[in-house]
Structure 1
């Protein structure tokens, strides 16, 4: 509550300033109008023969005041509207960045604490070989999780700075997608079904494609109950390659679908949100898909869940490669 009040304080001061300018404008307009009437009455007393001309001049002055006043008020309210919109955007961005920092702090601390605990366990106890392998496997999984988080932050930074370059090479998409999903530690203990068409060969940047796949799969895992199935499919036709990730999670409200690809965007506040994440994954996916001249769409998976569909035009991939 205190944070909201502090965010609104500059806007309240701006409202007061705009109100003050408006009142001053009205006051000075009234004074000018009243002054014109006094001048008109004085002119009539001095020279009654030119009454019609004086009245015409008075009307001209009144219309001038009304015209200039209308222009001034229009500009004032347009400026007020634009400043208010800009302020609201800055507040929203600051809130998203705050959520991002809170999330990253947690996401960095969690795997580091886990790895530390695993190593302390190995040092302080005599453990049989099987348990040692399990502990080391868990530590490697946490390390991989940390690596992917740092990767996402670095990729997002490179995208913002326009220093992310694409390097195309011809690969077997079918095998690459299968290996990427299979090797993702988060998908190993989940019910994941692969519907992958064989022998899909085309040029692509492997780093970009791997990031797209991993972020979409991890997003699906994040919001899908453990007992529910996640489907990953890859297919092609004459002109396009289609990658789909289908989950059975909680779905995405219609009013938020337009925002999910924005940087740092996550539903709700970081203190109350249960799912882990930084708000970078789908932003990176969207940016990379656009860089590859592809398209990404999101729709409901009835009765529950979401379908992310990524389409890559074959002609565009070939042009990039050549």
Structure 2
């Protein structure tokens, strides 16, 4: 008997995901019936889900064994009181690779001072702009999940001294790992370049406020591809005006698209990118979905199961 899989996400994604899911499930030996049409909820075995779908009430899906998110962040899904099914977040190799490339690119951009030469094509020979070696530029990463760890390892391989901070203690070879309030203070104090890759939770809302920006070295850089609400926008603008932060490269915001009248657009010390740091690729995401369906059918632990109390 076929396993009923309901694709509850943006309609525009269906053609690409249908083919990718069929291929990935077949490779796992799974007999699945895929559908993007509103099914009999009581017949659904697994739901492939994104918050931009029409489904907001999970109560009718009484047979559903797991909700498999296509998004890495689950802050718009996990708090739903009707969601009693196991929820798995998306961690896929394509998304991780994309994030590593984006973060590494912008760290190197600020480390090397590329903007001065790329934007300064005005006949002025700026030979005085000589960056230190990577080993002399300290990078701190807030968040040591799958994405933060991958970025930390990539930057350490380039010889940057990398400090990582997480809510709970972790150990990663070659990375200075800190945790707790004292650890956060230390991570910020040594952040010549700060990368924020934490999930959005009640504990991380406005984590980077005026008090914490003040802990960073004067003339440092901020890179945020994590979540917009991690940053107190007004506090960041003040830190930029003070020179505490020389430049902030931001990929995520409280409101997206970022409103045209937001001060970030006009600020010379801010680069706005339109939430492109990492995207879920259908081909690699489908492999993760198929593996979790296989695990669910085999009675094995699901991958990337969300802890509802923590919110990630």
- TM-score of Structure 1 vs Structure 2, range by shorter chain: under 0.3
* TM superposition score normalised by structure 2: 0.26
Q: With CA pairs under 8 Å and 6+ residues apart, which has the higher RCO, 1 or 2?
A: 2
* TM superposition score normalised by structure 1: 0.25
> Per residue, is there more helix in 1 or in 2?
1
